[in-house]
Amino acid sequence: MSYFDHIYNRLFGQSPTPTKVLVNEIIKRSQSFLDKFNAWSKSDTCEDFLNDLWQSYTWRKQGLDNDPQIMLLESTYSNGFAIDYEAKYGKSSFRYLFDYFAEEIKKLDYRLVVSRQTMKEKGDVVEMKEMHYLKPKRNWVEPIDQKFGNVQIEYIEENDQPTRIKLLVNSYPDRKYKKADNFEDLAEYIFSTKKNN
């Protein structure tokens, strides 16, 4: 036991849990996954899930809870939400939802900058996180149209169980950029099923 571990153990009663990185790689989807994802994105299951999410989102904006649980992330230059996993929607639907958000945002003249998967061991918990990072396509004429801002979407599992999807949009306050579009418009768009018909 190191000196630090010994002191930590005496102060807090246990040693800090070390984190071990098991995987850190670019996401590559198999053709089988893509075929299933495409079928799901056109299904009633997807439509019902999105409708439930939009209802939960609008209720949460009014300070009310609904299933599935959504937590709002709101500040001056960062907005978003986190969706907790619920078994009734199924593991596959929850995982597809992560890619669905990225695909829908790409249709708004965004480009996918990176998709990365990391897996970490934290004590007896193995956390797997997938992340899509998107930026608006743009020209360099100022003021630059930043659209809604840069978008980061995360899918998190612990011990092979889905836990959360988080979507966060960060905008620039810099004078070189136009004011960011309203986040509420983005939320309504990605939860809308009308564009799929």
Residue 118 lies in a domain: yes
Q: Is residue 59 part of a domain?
A: yes
Domain holding 160, by residue range, is 18-196
Q: Give the span between the Cα atoms of 153 and 166, in whole angstroms.
A: 6
Express each pLDDT in 159-173 by its tens digit: 999 999 999 999 999
Any domain includes 10:
no
How many percent of the chain have pLDDT more than 70?
89
Given the DSSP bridges, would you call strands 150-158 and 125-136 parallel, antiparallel or unpaired? antiparallel
| Residue-wise pLDDT tens digits, 37-64 | 999 999 999 999 999 999 999 999 998 8
d(CA 152, CA 131) in angstroms, rounded, equals 7
pLDDT of residue 21: 75
Instruction: Give the largest Cα separation in the chain, rounded.
Output: 64
| Location of structure tokens 């571990």 | 5
Per the structure, the count of domains in the chain is: 1
Q: What is the pLDDT of residue 196?
A: 47
Q: Residues 72-78: contacts with CB within 8 Å, 24+ apart?
A: 73/166, 73/168, 76/173, 77/149, 77/170, 77/171, 77/172, 77/173, 77/180, 78/168, 78/169, 78/170, 78/171
Assess if residue 33 is contained within a domain: yes
Transcribe 110-160 into DSSP letters: EEEEEEEEEEEEETTEEEEEEEEEEEE---SPSSB--TT-EEEEEEEEETT
Summarize pLDDT for 107-163 with one digit per residue, the tens. Answer: 999 999 999 999 999 889 999 999 999 999 977 788 999 999 999 999 999 999 999
The answer to the question of residue 4 being in a domain is: no
Residue 28 lies in a domain: yes
Beta carbons of 180 and 149 less than 8 angstroms apart: yes
Higher pLDDT, 5 or 168: 168
Examine residue 188 and state whether it is found in any structural domain, yes or no: yes
Domain assignment present for 185: yes
